[in-house]
Amino acid sequence: MPELPEVETVRRGLLPYLEGRRIARLTLNRDGLRWPFPPDLVQVATGARVTALRRRSKYILADLDRGASLLIHLGMSGRMLIEGEGIGEFHRDPSILPRHDHVVIETDEGTRITLNDARRFGMVDLIRDDKSPLLDMLGPEPLGDGFSGETLANGFRDRRAPVKALLLDQRIVAGLGNIYVSEALHRAGIDPRRAAGRISRQRLEALAQHIRDVLTEAVAAGGSSLRDHRQATGELGYFQHSFRVYGREGEACRKPGCAGTIRRITQSGRSSFWCPSCQR
């Protein structure tokens, strides 16, 4: 599933082609994806101008000038494709099959933006005033001004659950996923199995900064392309070439001065990659 950097990369790619543009036509090629589409989705969106394109956690929000917002989630395999006259540098990868084009937005400038989702775990909803159960439960943004070691300390207080599991809890930190949690914990030198409530405040301050650094670097690199992720322009992200632990089981640790070997363990059904030598 795309994590915060991948979703932010897609948002930035869509920005010049959707924000400030009017939706001339919205076409739904099926009744829904993960859930049914709202019955008034086409009526509300058609003719509306997109006043802002935002991200919240792993969701993209397109604010409309009619007091509503499109809430978009890419699911496991969703992609936003940009096509149209005058955008000759964008070409459609022939491996992306048109039969998976489920939502198509055509703007007043002739740009065609398509949600292509082979597994159909994505979603498009219509919300007002940012009111949605999906957004209400989300914790703070890790790239927001208020995110710090104190944020983590408050979320971890008296918790015995492994720090890896709690960092994946969207109620504590919004937008983090398996890849970037593994990478941040390695940089912070924290064992993913360690009880979250027993990590010192000093180490949590360092962890918060490493989380911000990893996410910032990943966004700058266009995210990580492992299976389905591409930028909205069709380009691949390349942060996967900077992984220090994720997917590197059996390889040497890349932390300077560490002679350890990366191991993989399973936590809550998810793979955790870590170095037993330098993560304590």
CATH of the domain at 43: 3.20.190.10
How confident is the model over 30-82, as pLDDT tens digits? 999 999 999 999 999 999 999 999 999 999 999 999 999 999 999 988 889 88
How many CB atoms are closer than 10 A to CB 208?
A: 21
pLDDT over 60 at 236, yes or no = no
Residue (of 79, 83, 92, 171) closest to 122 by Cα position: 79
Q: Does residue 144 fall inside a structural domain?
A: no
Domain shared by 17 and 89, yes or no: yes
pLDDT at 229: 43
CB 246 within 8 A of CB 164: no
Q: Does residue 271 fall inside a structural domain?
A: no
Q: How far is CA 270 from CA 113, 181, 191, 237, in A?
A: 33, 12, 15, 23
- Output the 3-class SS for 138-152: CCCCCCCCCCCHHHH
Contacts of 182 (CB under 8 A, 6+ apart): 164, 192, 245, 246, 272, 273, 274
Q: Does residue 127 fall inside a structural domain?
A: yes
pLDDT at 143: 97
CB 184 within 8 A of CB 147: no
pLDDT at 97: 77
pLDDT at 65: 98
Domain shared by 32 and 131, yes or no: yes
Enter the DSSP assignment of 23.
E
Report CA torsion sign: 152, 153, 155, 159.
Answer: positive
Q: Does residue 274 fall inside a structural domain?
A: no
Range of the domain at 21: 4-136
pLDDT over 80 at 235, yes or no = no
CB 53 within 8 A of CB 14: yes
Q: Does residue 255 fall inside a structural domain?
A: no
Domain shared by 162 and 230, yes or no: yes
Domain shared by 65 and 154, yes or no: no
Domain shared by 193 and 130, yes or no: no
Report CA torsion sign: 92, 33, 218, 244.
Answer: negative
Would residue 3 show up in a list of annotated catalytic residues for this protein?
Answer: yes
Domain shared by 47 and 130, yes or no: yes
Domain shared by 154 and 129, yes or no: no
Which of 21, 55, 58, 187 is an active site residue?
58
Which of 3, 6, 8, 183 is an active site residue?
3
Q: Does residue 259 fall inside a structural domain?
A: no
Q: Does residue 253 fall inside a structural domain?
A: no
How confident is the model over 32-42, as pLDDT tens digits? 999 999 999 99
pLDDT at 92: 60
Question: From CA 244, how far away is CA 124, in angstroms rounded?
Answer: 34
Question: From CA 253, how far away is CA 244, in angstroms rounded?
Answer: 7
Question: From CA 64, how far away is CA 52, in angstroms rounded?
Answer: 7
Average pLDDT over residues 227-252: 69
How confident is the model over 130-171, as pLDDT tens digits? 999 999 999 999 999 989 999 999 999 999 999 999 999 999
How confident is the model over 85-100, as pLDDT tens digits? 554 445 566 667 789 9
How confident is the model over 241-278, as pLDDT tens digits? 679 999 999 999 999 999 999 999 999 889 999 999 99
pLDDT at 233: 53
Domain shared by 111 and 154, yes or no: no
- The tally of domains found in the chain comes to 2
Domain shared by 154 and 219, yes or no: yes
Domain shared by 60 and 126, yes or no: yes
Question: From CA 251, how far away is CA 19, in angstroms rounded?
Answer: 44
pLDDT at 178: 92
Domain shared by 31 and 58, yes or no: yes
Which of 34, 56, 212, 270 is an active site residue?
270
Domain shared by 53 and 162, yes or no: no
